[in-house]
Every structure is written in C-alpha cells, then in structure tokens.
Amino acid sequence: MSSKEELEKQLQAYVGVQIGPPQVAAEPVNESMIYHWCEALGDHNPVYTDAEAGRRSVHKGLVAPPSMLQAWVLDGIAMADPASQPPNKQRELHGLLSAHGYTGVVATNTEQRYSRYLRPGDRISSTTVIESISGEKATALGIGYFINTRDIFRDQHGEEVGWMTFRVLKFKPHQQAQPQPTQGGAAAKPTRMRPPLGHDNAWWWEGIKRGELLLQKCSGCATLRHPPRPMCGKCQSTKWETVAAKGRGTLYSFTVVHHPKFPGFEYPLVCGLVELEEGTRIVSNVVGCEPDEVRIGLPVVLSIENVDDEMKLPLFRAASAAGR
C-alpha cells in the first residue's frame, strides 16, 4: 500500500464521526445581539428589532434573522487562539493532513437550512459531524482534499431548528515563484491576484479599466447593489442597468491587516467598508494616510489606480488629503 493510499485509508476513518461534544451557546438568543447584527449588515426588517412591528407580524413577536443561526454558538474571541481550544476530531483530522504536507486551508462553500425562526430566550446548541472527505483533487491552489462537515442546530428542548454544511479544502500550496529581476537587476514587483471574470462581473471590471466605478441599479425598484450579482435582493428582478458612482463617501468600518503578508500588497493594509453617497457600500483599501489617521466616518474620495503594471483597482483616499 502506497503512502497516499495509507493516508486516504486513515482519512476515511473520520467520515461519519462527531467531532466532539455539543457546542452550547454562551447566551440565549437576545435582542442586543440581534440589534448589533442588523446594524452591522444594514438589515432593516422591523420584525427583528421593533417589538411592536413583531407583535403585528405573523410571528406575533420579535424573531432573529435566520442567517444568525451559527452566530449563537461561536466561541467569540477565543477562536483567535487555536492553542487554547480543546482537541477534537476535526482538529485532529486537519493535523493529520498538515503532517503530510497539506498545510493550506481555504473555505469553499456553505449551505444553511432553517426549520423555524429563533426567538429571544431560545438556547441553541450544535453538533458537528464530518460528513465526507473527497479523494485527492487538483485545484488552482494546489492538490488537496475537500472536507465536508454538517452542523445540526437544536433548541433548549432538543428540537432541530436548522442545519449547515461547510466545505474546506486542505491543500499543498504551490511554491511561490520568486519575482524575476528586471533589466536593471532589481526584482520585479509582485502582481496582485487576478479576479475570476464571468458574465455577472466582467462589465464591472471593464468600467474600472475606463476609470469608472459602476453600480448596478435594479430596473424594477431602482435599488442599487454591489458587488455585482444577477438578481435584485429586494424585488428579485433580474433586469438591471448601471450608474457611475460620483466617487464620494464615508468610511463605515475598517480593519488594519498586518499578517499574513501576500505578494503584491503593501503592509500595514487598511481594508475599509465605504458607504458611497449613492447609498450602497463597497469594500476597498484606504491609501495615502497612516493607519492611525483612519477613523470611522472619515470622508473619502475614489481614486482608481494601477496596483501593478496591468491591473487597476478602485481605492479610496481621505478627502482632506485628496483636496490638497
């Protein structure tokens, strides 16, 4: 038996195994978390935050957004320190693959289904089972194995309220090619990763090449949306047109990335969520100022710039600096 066959035999022993004891929510479903979730995501459905609207609705009271299902059982900031987490079969499985050189991991897709709305006071728990492990696959990131897990969520009475499947790829990363020297002898600047282009987004990138930040506008209800997608989330119309953003906005939220450092980026890297004057938001980088000068509410202006020899991206600069 080859080493690969032996590894895959070991991997299959994990299929169908529950990774550990149930994960019990630290707190019951509560109005405070619901409020902050809705505020962060811009979800204005009144049955989530307005008690009177909830009472008048078919729910006869406040309910939680279904997409919060997993949020109730997450460990919070403790997740940032894997060493502090108790061992379980999922970490053991990932460790086995890492020991065989499959050190990279990337989430690829997830699916959720909800049995009922959660209400304040519900206490949620979840159990996770390793549902399947693929054979070795060749991907753009490298060769690896897809691992599917299934979480079952239950309330305080043990009744199922929903489930979630989650897939990750554990892979052997390609060796990073070293930048080749230029004619003058200096190493060429690494390029940014290129976006996948398709029917739903190629038009947007063509606009960036022309120096325009285009926004989709629903032809049915006039709602603006970004990033590009085929259907309006408000009225479900598939008919749309474009409008060019004026390029002004405010910084709604941001984070400063220090690590890991990917080729083609300059660190520290300010990643911001910009609320455009038109009313929709876009994730981009804030450039031209120090990280400690960045603040929520900062007025910013659009600056479409080359980030390498071929690629342009919509970046944002502080309005005060851009006006100098």
How do strand 312-318 and strand 281-287 relate by DSSP bridges?
parallel
Of 39 and 261, the one with more pLDDT: 39
Distance from chain centroid for Cα 279: 21
On whether the CB atoms of residues 49 and 35 are closer than 8 A, the answer is yes
Element (H, E) at 93: helix 89-99
Residue given tokens 């990643």 in the structure block: 271
The least confident of 34-43, 77-86, 114-123 is 77-86
- Asked if pLDDT for residue 179 goes beyond 80, the answer is no
Pick the closest to residue 156 from 199, 120, 210, 102 (CA basis). Answer: 120
pLDDT of 183 higher than 70? no
Q: Does residue 66 have a cis peptide bond before it, meaning omega lies within 30 degrees of 0?
A: no
Sign of the alpha-carbon torsion through 130, 131, 137, 139: negative
SS3 annotation, 151-220: EEEECCCCCEEEEEEEEEEEECCCCCCCCCECCCCCECCCCCCCCCCCCCCHHHHHHHHCCCCEEEEECC
Give the strands of the sheet with 214-218, arranged side by side. 224-225, 214-218, 240-244
Residue pLDDT, tens place only, 263-301: 788 899 999 999 999 999 999 999 999 999 999 999 999
What is the rounded average pLDDT for all residues in the chain?
Answer: 91
Taking the mean position of all CA atoms in its chain, how far away is CA 125? 23
The tokens 């991206």 sit on which residue? 313
Per-residue pLDDT tens digits for 134-149: 999 998 788 999 999 9
Cα Rg for the chain, rounded, in angstroms? 23
With beta carbons less than 8 A apart as the criterion, state whether 150 and 163 touch: yes
Q: Is the pTM of this model over 0.75?
A: no
Side-chain-facing half-sphere of 171: CA atoms under 13 Å: 19
Which band of pLDDT confidence, cut at 50, 70 and 90, is reported for residue 178? low
Tally Cβ neighbours within 10 Å of residue 83. Answer: 4
The predicted structure's pLDDT at residue 193: 78
Residue type, 193: M
Direct distance between the N- and C-terminal alpha carbons of the chain, in angstroms, rounded to an integer: 69
pLDDT higher than 80, residue 190:
no
| CB-based contact 193:265 (threshold 8 Å) | no
Token pair of 65 as six digits = 């957004």
Least trusted range by pLDDT, from 79-83, 183-187, 265-269, 302-306:
183-187
Res 41: pLDDT: 87
C-alpha to C-alpha distance for 263 and 175, rounded to whole angstroms: 13
Instruction: In whole angstroms, give the CA distance from residue 275 to residue 282.
Output: 7
Q: How much is the average pLDDT of 96-113?
A: 94
